[in-house]
Amino acid sequence: MPWNALFRFARKKHPLPGADGVRGPEPLTHQDTRAAIEELSQAVRNNPESVEIYLALGNLYRSQGEIERAIHIRNSLINRPGLDQALRARSLFELGRDFRRGGMLDKSREAFSQSAGLMGDTEEVQLELARLAADCGEFERAAGHYARIGQNMAQAHYLAQQARDCFRHGDPVQGEQLVQQALAAFPASPEAWLASVVHCALQADIPALRSTLSSACASIPADQRFLLLEGLLDVLSAARIEDGTPGLPLSADVITRLVRACVDVLTALEPDALICYYCSKLCLFEADQDNARHWLEKSLVLNSDFWLARLELVSLVLTDLELTPFLRDQLAYFVGHARKSKRFVCKNCGFRWDKTFFICPRCRSWHSILFRQEFS
């Protein structure tokens, strides 16, 4: 019986919740995986020459975190006399995955390279090498691997990562070159535009900030512009705290001019609830509560269900009300906890997080993030 038939048999013998066709397939539980391992182990004993069963068994061990067992199985296959080259290459490929899962990154790269030498420089190998380079912090190398398989979005992402490192380490020329390479690969890359906008802000280059932010907003889809503004707010918040970082903090006067330049650029855009919300957040950097309130009210006109804009508006109004200390403390408590609600969601899998992301931590989709404007 083929190994995949045995694997299906194991799952049939230990059905998953919802396997009646009412819901979609769900991942194997620990118990289901152990059952599949028992079935395949028995199949191996009955048919020790079946390479496919060994490969499947190794994959199951890896999924369970039993890396040493998985590696032992791959090596036993690789060293088998007369093994077909394609199967040897596949065994080396899976061995690379085992090493990567076990944190043995140098050995992982060597196994992938040996696999590529046998079965060619395939997209599958390039993808694994790209992920491996990213794990090692070799962002430019990761971008090169993604470029070879035509994944321009990922290529731009890692070029932008490398550019940020260059800016951080005082090499603005190389950083700008990498940003331009990223934008040439993927002109709508929010990561690349953010790296450039942040660099302009930290250099207090107001004209460059205006120009870059304006170009970024014109290039990036409207529902992703918040990635720029969220990143910019984080940087400005960190820049006004004295932490010993070279070139920081920015003076209060510089931050005021940066904020006003950003608000001017955003004001020129087509009205949007999120843009208005971020204008209010920028105004609060200058403690300009009147303008912040104006932008929040405008945001709620555009989307009356925008819960976070309403929450910030309530917070501002509370400062004007005469409340007992007890009631003020209670309201401040609820507002503070409401602010901790996860604002960002993946439109593909529904994953929610309180920080922005370019790759969904759950489903690994690119640029699937949305700002959760309506509270549910």
259-315 tens-digit pLDDT = 999 999 999 999 899 999 999 999 988 888 899 999 999 999 999 999 889 888 888
Report the DSSP pairing between strands 344-346 and 369-371: antiparallel
For 259, the domain range is: 224-240+249-339
Q: What pLDDT score does 177 carry? A: 97
Query: How far apart are the C-alpha atoms of 141 and 159, rounded to whole Å?
Result: 9
Q: Do 288 and 371 lie in a common domain?
A: no
Which amino acid belongs to residue 132?
L
For tokens 């401040």, the residue is 332
Number of structural domains found in the chain: 3
Q: Do 10 and 105 lie in a common domain?
A: yes
Domain end: 105, 140, 175, which one? 140
Q: Do 259 and 299 lie in a common domain?
A: yes
Domain end: 119, 140, 161, which one? 140
Q: Which residue numbers in the chain have pLDDT < 50?
A: 1-27, 244
Which amino acid belongs to residue 189?
S
Query: How far apart are the C-alpha atoms of 207 and 102, rounded to whole Å?
Result: 49
Q: Do 264 and 279 lie in a common domain?
A: yes
> Could you read off the pLDDT of 148-168 as tens digits, one per residue?
999 999 999 999 999 999 999
Query: How far apart are the C-alpha atoms of 230 and 278, rounded to whole Å?
Result: 8
- The structure's pTM equals 0.80
Q: Do 326 and 265 lie in a common domain?
A: yes
Query: In a 10 Å sphere around its CB, with 0-12 CB exposed, 13-18 middle and 19+ buried, how is residue 221 labelled?
Result: exposed
Q: What pLDDT score does 337 carry? A: 65
Q: Which residues contact 221 (CB under 8 A, 6 or more apart)?
A: 188
Q: Do 268 and 349 lie in a common domain?
A: no
Q: What pLDDT score does 54 carry? A: 77
Q: Do 229 and 113 lie in a common domain?
A: no
Q: Do 264 and 354 lie in a common domain?
A: no
